[in-house]
Amino acid sequence: MFQFVKIAALSFIIIIAPWDSFKPTYNSDIFQFIITSFSSVDLPFVSSSLHREELEQASVFWKYFFLLIFFLSVDGFKILIEIYKRPVLRTYTSNPQDVTALIACYNSAKTIKFTIDDLQKILSNDRIIVVDDGSTDNTFNIAKNMGVQVYRFEMNKGKVAAINFGIYRVKTKYTLLLDDDTRVGPLSPPTSLLEEGYTGVAFNLLPCRRTRDLTNGKNFVSCLQRYEYSKSMEIGKRFQDGALSVSCISGAVGLFLTSRLNSFHHLHSTVFQGEDLERTLIDLLKGGKVAFVNQNVWTFAPDNWLSLTKQRLFNWYPGFYRNIDHFFHILFDKQLPLRLKGEMFYNIFVILTDPLRIYSFFALFIYKQWAMLLFVYLFYLAIEIYPFIVVEKYLPVARYYMPALIAYPIYGIYNTLLRSLALFVWLYNRFITKRMRPKGRPGDRIA
- Ordered by where they begin, the domains of the chain are 96-323 (3.90.550.10)
Q: Do residues 256 and 144 lie in contact, with contact meaning Cβ atoms separated by under 8 Å?
A: no
Bridge partners of residue 69, in order along the sequence: none
- What's residue 222's pLDDT? 86
What's this model's pTM, rounded to 2 decimal places?
Answer: 0.85
Say how many C-beta atoms besides its own lie within 10 A of residue 311's C-beta: 15
Q: Do residues 245 and 230 lie in contact, with contact meaning Cβ atoms separated by under 8 Å?
A: no
What's the CA angle centered on 16, arms 11 and 19, to 5 degrees? 100
- What's residue 25's pLDDT? 38
Nearest Cα to 297, choosing from 143, 164, 114, 151? 114
- What's residue 381's pLDDT? 96
Per-residue pLDDT of the chain (447 residues; tens, 9 = 90+): 444 444 344 444 433 444 344 443 334 444 444 444 444 444 444 444 445 555 556 677 888 999 999 999 999 999 999 999 999 899 999 999 999 999 999 999 999 999 999 999 999 999 999 999 999 999 999 999 999 999 999 999 999 999 999 999 999 999 999 999 999 988 999 999 999 999 999 999 998 876 666 566 568 898 899 999 999 999 999 999 998 899 999 999 999 999 999 998 889 999 999 999 999 999 999 999 999 999 999 998 898 999 999 999 999 999 999 999 999 999 999 999 999 999 999 999 999 999 999 999 999 999 899 999 999 999 999 999 999 988 887 666 556 678 889 999 999 999 999 999 999 999 999 999 999 988 755 555 544
Q: Do residues 261 and 143 lie in contact, with contact meaning Cβ atoms separated by under 8 Å?
A: no
Angstrom distance (rounded) from CA 153 to CA 33: 66
End-to-end CA gap in the chain: 58
